[in-house]
Amino acid sequence: MNIVEALNVALPEIPERLAWQKRVPKVDPRLVAREHILEGVPMVRVLLPDTHEFYTLPLHTWKLIRLFNGDRNYEEVAQIYTAETGIAADANWVREFAAENADADFWYKSSQEKNARFREEMAEKRRAQKKSNNLAEIRFPAWDPDVALTAIHDKLGFIFTYQFLLANLGMFAFAAYVTLSHWSEIGRDNLEFYNFTDKTVGDVVLFWVLVCSIACVHEFCHGLACKHTGGESHSMGFLLIYLSPAFYCDTTEAWVYGGKWQRITTAAAGVWSSLIIYALASFLWWGTAIDSGVHNFAYVVMLASGILPVLINLNPLIKLDGYFIFTEMLEISDLKENSTLYVNSWIRRNVFRLPVEVPYVTWRRRLLYVPYTIVSGFYSYGLLFFVVTFVYNVIHRYSPDWAFFPAILLTVVIFKSRILALWRFMKLLYLDKKDRVKAWFSPARYAALACAVVALLIAPIWRETVEGRFLLEPAQRAVVRIEVPGKLVEANAAEGQTISAGAPLFRLQNLDLESEAAKVGADLRTASAHAIQAQLRYGDYAIAERRRQELTEEELSLREKMARLTVLSPIAGTVVTPRVQDLLGLYLPSGTEVLQVADLSVLQALVYVPEPDVGRIRIGAPVALRLDALTSSVFGRVMSLTTVSSELEKGLMAAENYKGIQAPRFYVARVVLPNSSEWLKDGMTGSAKILVRRRSLARLAWIDVAEFVRRKLW
């Protein structure tokens, strides 16, 4: 038997509720009230002793509530209230106020009333949990940290001094210097640290130990800042924000006891502590020997506490530290709720013409509410979509064919409350508009709508496409190699230089070849003289002539080799090989590749088409190419398609790390792209869509269903 059932047995009737309605209410004497200026208006925040939550009440409302001491009747309360505030009030108005706020938590309640209220709250929570699965924030309370926070605050009170603040700023400046001077490695490693693709079990364990330890310090600092304002923290535990693990510390009382800057300090304390950890770790990393244990551990701590966690926490689009700092700076409480309420109400009233009251908002505040609601909504739904996609990708590694099923289930669970809210809205819209819609739909309009739906289903207006990754490369590329060995003594080419066909690129020196050519030249001149003398003397002319011809052929061969010591460009184009000048002075054997010349005026996109889709592609089909590095797209046509499958080019897709899952085979479709302005670069990658043909919506749906059945049930 759980506690709710026990209360049901112990309290079958609730006579205390009847007693509450008969007697004059009494304000709970344990309430703590503090006056604040919110949005330029005096308000009172009243702390509830049992739940450690607070009400924000207008000043005149609190002045009325505090007059209820259990002894005064309604007439006396009305008289005192009128005398203190100058607002005319009678007994009936005061009685009405008490009746309307009978369920508020600031009234004193007996033990029986508290038990009854607790039972109702538990039942209400169960009903709410059945109706809604809001996974944006799930809390798991663990313990009451107030005693520990008090002890720590007494010992570490110096952290709230100006001297400590100045020391922190100096540490942050040094950490910024270390970060910027090593940004090429720190920036990349920050992204890699939060990528679980290549992590071993030990890496994952170390990751979570560090993240959880830093998160505990983060939340403890929130609690210490709250304690410094005079408040208490009675709840700390585990938290899921959009299914991402985190921790929390309840600092509600800081919003009652503290002023504006104290509240901002409380919200910023967690991020501040992370920056302190990052600064200390960066100092250790900078000052210790490379490859030492302390050096490596300090670097990992930097990644766990540094840039990405701080940026995420300071993001004001979801309710993390940055949101509370942002709202306090603007002095707008409940920004997310109020802006969402205003935008939703405005859309319902002005777009869907529903009888909804739109809250009054000044035009200055509308300039904030509207963009904040849109951006915050997209960001929140994007996080939920990222969670679903992440789960799908993980399961896809083990079961590519059925990974969609758990992903759909998780989507339903995550978006259940939003789907139900959309369903209730559509139901309300239908009930409000059904009479008008029924009156509008005459038989002729019904027929026209049916014809339009049928035409939409059977008309071939929808594009059927095949998607694939592509790599850009020059349509014509020449590799220049050394044909005759020698020492490179002159280089006339550099990376990015445009050259014409036949232009000299290099000049080599080969002393052995030059000596041999000189010797053969001298021998040829001697043989030619002997041949002439033999002809004049009618002596051994045939032998002398044969010797002359042999030396002539040898000299021509050597001259040809000597000519090849000057390396010419085989085509017109651009030099794409870096650091060509580094070869000067080196002896290069024959066959050595020295540079590449590419004609960048015409590029070709090699589109890697998955094997199941290759049969749908035809030569000449239009192709849309979206480059990863650019926002615009380029267009072309399929010029050819390989007849033999090949593996995907490295770097186009993430490598598969599981040996039990084999990568599919691909066929390469070639798309030629003119590039006279050369804004397309060699090596660019992107995604391509090849238009197969236009089909009807019904045909597309039938193809998908038929292929699914054939693949899964074969």
Q: Does position 699 have pLDDT exceeding 70, yes or no?
A: yes
Q: Which of 58-62, 316-320, 415-419 has the lowest mean pLDDT?
A: 415-419
Q: Does position 286 have pLDDT exceeding 70, yes or no?
A: yes
User: For the purposes of burial, counting CB atoms within 10 Å of the CB of 695, is it exposed (0-12), middle (13-18) or buried (19 or more)?
Assistant: middle
Quick one: pLDDT band at residue 9, thresholds 50, 70, 90? very low
Q: How far lies 645's CA from each of 300, 472, 518, 612, 689, in Å?
A: 43, 19, 54, 11, 19
**How many other C-beta atoms are found inside a 10 Å radius of the C-beta of residue 663?**
10
Contacts of residue 575, defined as CB under 8 A and 6 or more positions apart, other chains included, come to 493, 494, 495, 496, 497, 499, 595, 596, 597
The pLDDT value recorded for residue 166 is 93
Here the tokens at position 293 are 């244990």
Quick one: pLDDT band at residue 113, thresholds 50, 70, 90? low
The pLDDT value recorded for residue 11 is 41
Here the tokens at position 595 are 């540079």
Quick one: pLDDT band at residue 467, thresholds 50, 70, 90? confident
| E strand segments, 510-569 | 566-568
Query: How far is it, in rounded angstroms, from Cα 64 to Cα 86?
Result: 12
The pLDDT value recorded for residue 10 is 41
681 vs 239, which has greater pLDDT? 681
Instruction: Report the SS3 class of residue 529.
Output: helix
Q: Does position 287 have pLDDT exceeding 90, yes or no?
A: no
Give the mean model confidence (pLDDT) for residues 188-211. Answer: 73
Mean pLDDT, all residues of the chain: 80
Q: Residues 700, 638: contact at Cβ < 8 Å?
A: no
Give the mean model confidence (pLDDT) for residues 204-229. Answer: 86
The pLDDT value recorded for residue 695 is 78
Model pLDDT for residues 335-354, shown as the tens digit of each residue = 898 999 999 999 988 988 88
Q: How far lies 378's CA from each of 178, 338, 643, in Å?
A: 35, 17, 44
Quick one: pLDDT band at residue 712, thresholds 50, 70, 90? low
The pLDDT value recorded for residue 272 is 92
User: For the purposes of burial, counting CB atoms within 10 Å of the CB of 506, is it exposed (0-12), middle (13-18) or buried (19 or more)?
Assistant: buried
The pLDDT value recorded for residue 633 is 82
Give the mean model confidence (pLDDT) for residues 388-404. Answer: 73
Model pLDDT for residues 628-654, shown as the tens digit of each residue = 877 778 888 998 888 887 777 766 665
The pLDDT value recorded for residue 339 is 92
Q: Does position 102 have pLDDT exceeding 60, yes or no?
A: yes
The one-letter code for the residue type at 223 is G
Instruction: Report the SS3 class of residue 311.
Output: helix
Task: For 609, list phi and psi in degrees, rounded to 5.
Answer: -95, 130
Give the mean model confidence (pLDDT) for residues 623-627. Answer: 89
The pLDDT value recorded for residue 124 is 59
CB under 8 A, 24+ apart: contacts of 66-71: 66/27, 66/33, 68/24, 68/25, 68/26, 68/27, 68/98, 68/107, 69/26, 69/27, 70/23, 70/24, 70/25, 70/26, 70/108
Quick one: pLDDT band at residue 528, thresholds 50, 70, 90? confident
Quick one: pLDDT band at residue 136, thresholds 50, 70, 90? low
Token match 């002159």: residue?
Answer: 490
Give the mean model confidence (pLDDT) for residues 62-70. Answer: 86
Model pLDDT for residues 580-602, shown as the tens digit of each residue = 888 888 888 888 888 888 888 88
Token match 């009333």: residue?
Answer: 113
Q: Does position 568 have pLDDT exceeding 50, yes or no?
A: yes
Give the mean model confidence (pLDDT) for residues 459-480. Answer: 84
Query: How far is it, in rounded angstroms, from Cα 697 to Cα 462?
Result: 7
Q: Residues 267, 324: contact at Cβ < 8 Å?
A: yes
pTM attached to this predicted model: 0.61
Query: How far is it, in rounded angstroms, from Cα 370 to Cα 360?
Result: 14
Q: Which of 112-126, 474-488, 586-600 has the lowest mean pLDDT?
A: 112-126
Model pLDDT for residues 421-460, shown as the tens digit of each residue = 888 888 888 888 888 878 877 788 888 888 888 888 887 7
Q: Does position 14 have pLDDT exceeding 50, yes or no?
A: no
Give the mean model confidence (pLDDT) for residues 229-240. Answer: 82
**How many other C-beta atoms are found inside a 10 Å radius of the C-beta of residue 129?**
10
Beta bridge partners of 478: 597
Where in the chain are the domains? 3-131, 137-331, 472-588
Give the mean model confidence (pLDDT) for residues 201-209. Answer: 77
**H runs (alpha helix) in 314-403:** 321-330, 335-350, 363-396
Length of the chain: 714
- β-bridge pairing 462-481 and 685-695: antiparallel
Q: Which of 204, 172, 402 is nearest to 271 (CA)?
A: 172
Instruction: Report the SS3 class of residue 289.
Output: coil
Here the tokens at position 573 are 């184009």
Beta bridge partners of 610: 666
Instruction: Report the SS3 class of residue 489.
Output: strand
Q: Does position 553 have pLDDT exceeding 90, yes or no?
A: no
Give the mean model confidence (pLDDT) for residues 22-31. Answer: 78
